[in-house]
Structure 1
């Protein structure tokens, strides 16, 4: 799996990692999204981290260049998030970076990410690099730029989820793809032979029995007719302490070898033109998508 950008420091992880070592689960309520874009021809990664804890909700935006060198980072601390509207103007070696946001009327769900009535914009020399949210007109007005869509591609997401037996998340398995409900079911309490079940939109796509022998592994499933590799590590749930978490990663199989090898396991007619076209575009760019879920058991 691709590591997360260096700007995120110790939070760059691999699927075998057990996530951060802290035991305060309130501090773990965060979502990290990584976007690949071009800033005046330069390939860059923009990492947006949404956080929620007892102090409130916060936001971090970090920009890395193609060598994983941090170009800039802006942190909006939870206790400052009451200032839900603002901007930061930064100078880099290559030009001016503008980061603007408006969460004045934003609506939030159970997680730290805003759901609607907000925008977060990142511009480089007045050229829109990343635009999140549904208030696009307000964002372009703030950046003082004509409404031209950004070229950012959503390539990775990391999220902490909580539950006792059932764990849920929403995911797009490629940029601008269909939103899906991901459900993980695993009961490890007083069971001699626990099993792991993963469902996409309530449909069972994977079931692992004899989990104590298969506490780590990988399996290929199909989502929207495309292969997705699922990796899991539930060692902490079965053999660790009560504060441990399991790790799941969903990785789109966008290498041409894996994609064409998978053609024999599903009906090609189910692969719509839009999906296949976008798949080819991503292959040309060398992009895939990774969703990493850290599943914590509620006490």
Structure 2
């Protein structure tokens, strides 16, 4: 059985898939998806459905540094994590210097601090010595503007920047480039930075409520809107919530029926010509009173010819979007 809390970490992606299996993968093209009957439309419209309030948004990044001076071996990549959340006094931000490190709460709206970091290999091999120096973290949320829908992640007017080994290893926000240019006079090189996972935790009071997220499945690729909703066949209201819909750019990519029996499943769709695996686990939603969690994950494969969850695929997974929906706040 999958633990919903374990899905907060990208390393648990394989565990999620292992309970679903690799033998029942269905393949579909998003552009070719059509409804099986006239009572079911092939498009999704967020404007006609109530949005779900977002509890938190956690984005993990991988920063691949340049070659160290005088060394032929590149330093290990950094795995950094930002979590945007809510508090009684307003939106919050926390930062973690690795995939497993405890997050540091950034209480001030603007500031800087030094954060110690370790390499991924040092943690896994049991070596206690960090192989990368502390990173310098800078942030400014004083002019941040937020989506009226209630997401704690700002849409503009902010920056979060991290520098390690004389390289920019994190640059988030529309003001990040301007800050780096002013602070370092454009003399600091930038590591290769790529988001590797995005986890959105929402509270769903109405099963028919639609949650939408904007993501890029490939580095440098186009941005897509992914929406997830649940409802009864032929009905725009919540009802029994007997169907799950996953849509990409308003086109229905996945439609799972009879969820009380089909509460776990997976399907492969093609987005921008590349395979994206869609998995869902609704066991907690149907069979647990609290917090009643449903999990839907979309994960891009790193190669077209790869299969689900092989060792080489798990070692370098593609981008993942995970939506965790709760009946009540956990």
Instruction: Give the conservation status (yes or no) of the 8 Å contact 2:97–2:115.
Output: no
Q: Distance in 2 between matches of 1:289 and 1:44?
A: 16
Deviation, 1:220, is 0.7
- Over 3 Å counting, the alpha-carbon distance change for 1:96 and 1:210 in structure 2 is closer
Secondary structure (helix, strand or coil) at the match of 2:306 reads helix
What residue is the counterpart of 2:96 in the other structure? Answer: 62
Question: What TM-score do the two structures reach when normalised by structure 1?
Answer: 0.73
| Runs of 5+ consecutive residues of structure 1 not aligned to the other structure | 18-24, 262-282
Question: What TM-score do the two structures reach when normalised by structure 2?
Answer: 0.66
Deviation, 1:88, is 0.4
Q: Distance in 2 between matches of 1:155 and 1:102?
A: 23
Instruction: Give the conservation status (yes or no) of the 8 Å contact 1:126–1:143.
Output: no
Q: Distance in 2 between matches of 1:57 and 1:244?
A: 25
What residue is the counterpart of 2:152 in the other structure? Answer: 112
Identify which range, 243-252 or 139-148, moves more after superposition: 139-148
Question: Could you say what the CA RMSD is over the residues aligned between the two structures, in angstroms?
Answer: 3.3
**Is 1:212 aligned to residue 260 of structure 2?**
yes
Secondary structure (helix, strand or coil) at the match of 2:262 reads coil
What residue is the counterpart of 1:103 in the other structure? Answer: 141
- Residue 216 of structure 2 is aligned with which of 166, 172, 180? 172
What residue is the counterpart of 1:194 in the other structure? Answer: 242
- Over 3 Å counting, the alpha-carbon distance change for 1:218 and 1:9 in structure 2 is closer
- Over 3 Å counting, the alpha-carbon distance change for 1:89 and 1:238 in structure 2 is closer
- Over 3 Å counting, the alpha-carbon distance change for 1:89 and 1:34 in structure 2 is same
Q: Distance in 2 between matches of 1:45 and 1:104?
A: 26
Q: Distance in 2 between matches of 1:141 and 1:86?
A: 16
Instruction: Give the conservation status (yes or no) of the 8 Å contact 2:264–2:279.
Output: yes
- Over 3 Å counting, the alpha-carbon distance change for 1:145 and 1:153 in structure 2 is same
Identify which range, 139-148 or 42-51, moves more after superposition: 139-148
Secondary structure (helix, strand or coil) at the match of 1:141 reads helix
Q: Deviations over 1:108-150 (max 9, x none)?
A: 1121111111110010133111101111122343356526443
Secondary structure (helix, strand or coil) at the match of 2:77 reads strand
- Over 3 Å counting, the alpha-carbon distance change for 1:95 and 1:197 in structure 2 is closer
Would you tell me which structure has more helix in proportion to its own residues? 1
What residue is the counterpart of 2:78 in the other structure? Answer: 44
How many correspondences in the alignment? 252
Q: Deviations over 1:144-193 (max 9, x none)?
A: 652644311111111112331122222222234322222222126653x8
